[in-house]
Amino acid sequence: MTTTSHPRRVSRRTFLAAFAVAALLIAGIVSYAASSSPDGLDSATLRGCETVEVNGAEELSGNCIAQHATDHAMASSPLADYSVRGIGYTNGIAGVIGVLVTLAVAVGLFWLIASRRSARSTSSADGGR
């Protein structure tokens, strides 16, 4: 059950690579198996409404919180709704792009925070290696 004598069986690099591969596989492949039902928050806002087709567009009839929702400012984004330009079955590609963008933004921000700290702690003005 417990690892005793050798708690480090995996090198740091191998571990980080495996973690990255897991994220890419989940976003790129497992995402196709995800449920398309509204989630808990969404279904809370949809209570009391029914979705009806009006001239090819979905509209809400009835009385619910979601009717107060306004259109998304980024609705025209090429990746809106986790697809690439609205093309069917591109969910996984959008997911992989999202993982890579999130990783880049996070590493960039965290590296910046970490290097500001080392700039403070060392007397040299040359922070961030």
Partner 1 sequence: MSTLTPTTTTVAMHMSDGIINAPVSALFGVIALAGLAFCVWRARTDLDEKTVPMAGLVAAFIFAVQMINFPILPGVSGHLLGGALAAILVGPYTGALCIAIVLVVQALLFADGGVTALGANITNMALISTFVGYLVAVAAYRLIGRRSASVGRLGVVAFLAALCGTVAAATGFVVEYALGGAAAESLGTVAAYMWGTHALIGIGEGLITAVTVMAVARARPDLVYLLRTQARTSHDPIGVPA
Residues 74-93 within binding reach of partner 1 (CB under 8 A) = 74-77, 79-82, 91
Q: Is 34 in the site for partner 1 (CB under 8 A)?
A: yes
Q: Does 62 bind partner 1 (CB under 8 A)?
A: no
> Residue holding tokens 């069917």?
88
Contacts of 95 (CB under 8 A, 6+ apart): 26, 27, 28, 31, 82
124 interacts with partner 1 by CB under 8 A: no
Nearer to partner 1, 11 or 123 (CB): 11
Query: Quick one: which of 6, 7, 123, 126 contacts partner 1 (CB under 8 A)?
Result: 7
Question: Binding residue for partner 1 (CB under 8 A) from 6, 73, 123, 125?
Answer: 73
Q: Does 126 bind partner 1 (CB under 8 A)?
A: no
CB of 97 to partner 1, least distance (A): 8
Buried b (16+ CB within 10 A) or exposed e, 88-122: eeebbbbbbbbbeeeeeeeeeeeeeeeeeeeeeee
Look up residue 114 and give its amino acid.
A
